[in-house]
Amino acid sequence: MLRELGGILLLSIVLAFSYNAFSTHGLPLMRKETKKVVTSDSTLFQQLSLPQTKQIDTTTVVAPLHKHAMEHRDSIAKAFTKKDNGYSVISLDQVKRLLKEKRGVFVDAREPDEFDAGHLPGAINIPYLESENHFNQMMQIPQDTLIVVYCSSSECPLGRDLIDFMRGMDFKKVMLYDEGWEGWTKAGMDKKGALK
Amino acid sequence: MNRLAQNGYVTLISRCLIGIVFVLAAMEKISLPDEFAVSLQAYQIVPMQAINVIAIFLPWLELVCGIFLLAGICVRSSAAIVSLMLAAFVAGISVALSRHLNIDCGCFGSAHASPIGWQRVVEDGGLFILAVNLWAHPKSVFAMGNS
């Protein structure tokens, strides 16, 4: 039996690493830490000074309407595998300023029951685990809109996963509020964005 | 009960069930290994340096064991490896649930993303029992090998 076990393991190793070496989706043997880039105020708020605006619910968004995502709808799941750009992270103060100025679309990547229990003011819920079901909803958002995605905390990967998905849809300005809902509540903020 | 566990048709059904589940689980992970690596990373159990190696190797081990079980080749050894994998999956999901992590299971790749839950633990636990039974009683009908 030991010979069989060894044979199965050896066969799997040979197949796995041979395929990985020749596959276009092959991985490096060592994984790098997730890259997070702090976004400066000038970068963040300068992006919002574009001339065209559009009103979505209570939020003013900027940029032309998204055109191409529908044509590539079937390839979205494959397209969001590129993660080499890292994530642009914004702070609580920047979140508060964006909310105060009603800029950007806030997207909660958590499950609907968590969203219903509490979320950032004006946020919409696009649970990453059901993101493909929300494709049409995302299509309504112009691709140059500033999007701020958050999850429960920096340990939650769903926000980062949703950002990858949205990048696959060609959204250009997707930021991560890394502290997420826990960071928001720990700072003493309530659902309306005011201090308790 | 022991006779039922040894019944050739019961072990055949176990082989087919586990084999199909493991082959299906492996396919998507093999086609998108980076997504599987992201799912593994989310569990916060595996060291960062080992994640990619596991993401490359594990789906192929699932595929080889799944095919061997379906074909009835090296059933005992394949069942032993599958049992260890299922025990690891049950432990990993249980630890993540106890830490209240809200993450994708990663069980069938990112195209079939679904959150972890106790239901998944029960499913994997059931497959684990079947796999251990296969290890203990590997003989079944319609098998290409003898063990």
Task: Tell me the range of A154-168, A171-185, B50-64, B128-142 where mean pLDDT is highest.
Answer: B50-64
Residue with tokens 């030991």: A2
Higher pLDDT, A83 or B53: B53
List, in order, residues 6 or more apart from A57 with CB less than 8 Å away.
Answer: A122
Residue with tokens 């595998």: A81
> What is residue B89's predicted lDDT score, i.e. its pLDDT?
93
CA Rg value for chain B: 15
- Mean pLDDT lowest for which of A91-95, B53-57, B82-86? A91-95
CB distance from B31 to chain A under 8 Å?
yes
pLDDT digits (tens, 9 = 90+) for A34-74: 777 777 777 777 655 444 555 555 554 444 444 445 555 55
Identify the residue among A2, A22, A31 best suited for mutation to test binding to B, counting B beta carbons within 10 A and taking the highest: A31
When the pLDDT of each residue in chain B is averaged and rounded to a whole number, the result is 87
CB distance from B101 to chain A under 8 Å?
yes
Cα→Cα distances B132→B3, B5, B125, B126, B136, Å: 15, 11, 11, 10, 6
List the structure tokens of A26. 């092959």
Superfamily of domain A32-186: Rhodanese-like domain (3.40.250.10)
List, in order, residues 6 or more apart from A58 with CB less than 8 Å away.
Answer: A102, A122
Give which of A130, A140, A115, A141 is closest to A165, Cα–Cα.
A130
Higher pLDDT, A161 or A75: A161
Residue B142 lies in a domain: no
Higher pLDDT, A180 or A49: A180
Residue B143 lies in a domain: no
> What is residue B81's predicted lDDT score, i.e. its pLDDT?
95
Chain A nearest C-alpha distance from B139 (Å): 14
* Model confidence at A30: pLDDT above 90: no
Higher pLDDT, A26 or B68: B68
Residue B7 lies in a domain: yes
- Mean pLDDT lowest for which of B6-20, B50-64, B131-145? B131-145
| Structural domain span for residue B45 | 2-136
Tell me whether residues B32 and A1 touch, CB distance under 8 A.
no
- Span B15-27, mean pLDDT? 93
**Count of domains observed in chain B:** 1
Residue with tokens 């649930």: B97
- What three-state secondary structure class fits A63? coil
> What is residue A65's predicted lDDT score, i.e. its pLDDT?
44
* Model confidence at A90: pLDDT above 80: yes
> What is residue A10's predicted lDDT score, i.e. its pLDDT?
94
Q: Where are the beta strands (DSSP E) in chain A?
A: 36-38, 53-56, 59-62, 87-89, 105-108, 124-125, 146-150, 173-177
SS3 content of chain A, % helix, strand, coil (to 5): 40, 15, 45
Higher pLDDT, A84 or B40: B40
> What is residue A66's predicted lDDT score, i.e. its pLDDT?
47
Q: Is residue A71 within 8 Å of B25, Cβ to Cβ?
A: no
Q: Which residues of A touch B104 (CB under 8 A)?
A: 128-129, 157-158, 161
Q: Is the predicted ipTM greater than 0.95, yes or no?
A: no
When the pLDDT of each residue in chain A is averaged and rounded to a whole number, the result is 77
Write down the domain spans for chain A: 1-30, 32-186
Question: What is the dihedral angle through the alpha carbons of B60, B62, B67, B73, rounded to the nearest 10 degrees?
Answer: 110
> What is residue A73's predicted lDDT score, i.e. its pLDDT?
53
Name residue A149's beta-bridge partners: A107, A176
Tell me whether residues A129 and B113 touch, CB distance under 8 A.
yes
* Model confidence at A103: pLDDT above 90: no
Task: Starting at the earlier edge strand, list the strands of the sheet with A87-89.
Answer: A36-38, A87-89, A173-177, A146-150, A105-108, A124-125
% pLDDT > 70, chain A: 76
Tell me whether residues A8 and B77 touch, CB distance under 8 A.
yes
Tell me whether residues B103 and A12 touch, CB distance under 8 A.
no
- Span A94-121, mean pLDDT? 88
* Model confidence at A18: pLDDT above 90: yes
Tell me whether residues A26 and B33 touch, CB distance under 8 A.
yes
- As a whole number of angstroms, the distance between CA B101 and CA B37 comes to 17
pLDDT digits (tens, 9 = 90+) for B86-118: 999 999 999 999 988 878 888 887 667 778 889
Q: Which residues of B touch A129 (CB under 8 A)?
A: 104, 113-115
Closest in B35, B53, B103 to A81, CB measured: B35
Residue B147 lies in a domain: no
% pLDDT > 90, chain B: 50
pTM above 0.90, yes or no: no
A–B CB contacts, 8 A cutoff, strictly below = 105
pLDDT digits (tens, 9 = 90+) for A123-170: 999 988 788 788 878 877 877 788 999 998 887 888 888 888 888 877
Residue B144 lies in a domain: no
